[in-house]
Amino acid sequence: MVAHNNEIPHQHFSKDWQGIAGACRVRTWFNQAGRKKSRRIAREKKAKAIFPRPTAGALRPIVRPPTVRYNFKTRLGRGFTLEELKVAGIPKKLAPTIGIAVDHRRRNRSEESLALNSKRLKAYKASLILFPRRTAKPKHGDSEAGELSMARQLKGKLMPITKDSKPIEMVAVTAEMKGFKAYHKLRTERMNVWQVGPRLKKVEEEKKKEEEEKKNAAK
């Protein structure tokens, strides 16, 4: 034990590396290469099982995360709304069968999200090759035999989010821009906001004073 008011020693010599006293306390990662191989084999098996569907899974909408902290970003959502499917002309019961994720709880709060995701659905629908359940008896809406032979399985991300880079506009600095005092302008506008109430009160007081003076003059 420690004598008097001295610091307790913090030597960590109690680790049992070999696991003689029980379970080994040190976590090892020697099977990393084996895990890598098993994951690759599992991916290949899954791709063969779901062929010709995309390996990424169902198509998902582009949404914005909640709260002011994150709503400037975009990410993939849970599923398309019923309104988005209606605009794209896809029945809500057909959508899950052709690889489109549906979320009946989500709502479109803006016209932008509705237009963006309906456009995404239309683009997916245009490039979609629909295999018939029975090759001998194709139904209405199924792709033709020529298109079926051209079908390839999509590996990787399905319609990934692309950032639209806007070109930077170069502007010549004028004398008016150089002479503009930004700090002074900000302080003035802030003062104007603060003085809205007192100024209105002052105007009302002046009107009352004028009315009283007119009454006194009439007497």
Closest alpha carbon to 61 in 83, 46, 43 = 83
Query: What are the two backbone dihedrals, phi and then psi, of residue 10, each rounded to the nearest 5 degrees?
Result: -115, 35
Length of the chain: 219
pLDDT tens figures, 156-178: 899 999 888 888 899 999 999 99
Query: Which pair of structure tokens corresponds to residue 113?
Result: 């999200």
Predicted TM-score (pTM) of this structure: 0.64
pLDDT tens figures, 122-159: 999 998 888 887 777 777 777 777 778 778 888 889 99
Query: Which pair of structure tokens corresponds to residue 44?
Result: 């290949």
For 52-94, give the secondary structure using H, E and C: CCCCCCCECCEECCCCCCCCCCCEECCCECHHHHHHHCCCCCC
C-alpha–C-alpha distance, residues 23 and 16, integer Å: 8
